[in-house]
Amino acid sequence: MKKFIVATLCFITIIICFTVECYAEDSYETFNEVMMVNGKLLRNFTDEEMQEYMKHVKKSTFWGVNVYTVNKNVETTYISSTLYNVENRGDTDVSYELDIVVETSNKTSWSVSGNLSGTAKGSIKSFKTDIAAKAGVDYSNTTTSSKKETQKLKLTVEKGSRAIVYLMGSARITNGVCACYICFVNVASCGFEYFTLVNQYPRMEKRKL
C-alpha cells in the first residue's frame, strides 16, 4: 500500500512539473551595472565555488528543498539603463522636458543558474516560495509586478556639452544554491538569486564635448 501511495505521488508530481509554467523572467540581469557592497552575483560564482556550496544541499530528503544561502540581503546599487544621451554642438543652450518612467514599489525578481530541463525548471518554480523563505527573502513586503510612474525632468544642455540621463537605484540581493527532492529523488539542483528593488530614480551627468 505504501509503495502504491509513493508511486501515485510521484506520478502526480511529474504531471505537475510538466504542466507548470517554466521560469522565464528578465529584469536586473539586463542592467548596465550591479554593484554589491560585498559578495558576488550568481553569474560570477566559479565552478569550484558552486561545487563547494552544493555539498551543503545534497542531503537526501523525502519531499522539499534544501537551501544554502551564500549572500543574504546584501545592499546593492545599480544602473539599469541609459535613457537619454544628448549632445549640443551649437552656440546656444537647448532645453528639454523629458518623461522618465520609474519603478515606484518594491519588486523581487529571481533567476536560476544552469541548463535545467523543463521538468527541473518546473520543480524549482513550484518550490520558489519555500526557497525564498529558507533564504530569508520576505515576500510579504514585496510585489512580483511593480507599479510604474512617469516623472517630468527638465533638462538644459549647455552649448558644447553632452547630457546623459540614466536610471539608478538601490536593491538587496540574496543568492545561494538549492536542491529539490521529491520522494527522495533529487529532481533539480542549481544556484538561485533574488533581486529586490528598493528604489529607483533618474540621474543626470553633463560632460564637455
Q: Give 145-171 pLDDT, tens digit per residue.
A: 567 788 888 889 999 999 999 999 999
Q: Give 6-48 pLDDT, tens digit per residue.
A: 444 443 333 333 222 223 234 688 888 999 999 999 999 999 9
For the question of whether the overall pTM of this predicted structure is more than 0.85, the answer is no
Q: Give 165-199 pLDDT, tens digit per residue.
A: 999 999 999 999 999 998 988 888 889 999 988 88
Q: Give 52-102 pLDDT, tens digit per residue.
A: 999 999 888 889 899 999 999 999 999 988 888 989 999 999 998 888 888
132 band by pLDDT with thresholds 50, 70 and 90: confident
Q: Is 115 exposed, middle or buried (0-12, 13-18, 19+ CB in 10 A)?
A: exposed
Q: What is the Cα–Cα distance from 26 to 201, expressed in whole angstroms?
A: 20
If we measure between CA atoms, which residue out of 161, 167, 171, 163 comes closest to residue 209? 161
If we measure between CA atoms, which residue out of 173, 45, 166, 170 comes closest to residue 109? 173
Q: What is the Cα–Cα distance from 7 to 1, expressed in whole angstroms?
A: 10
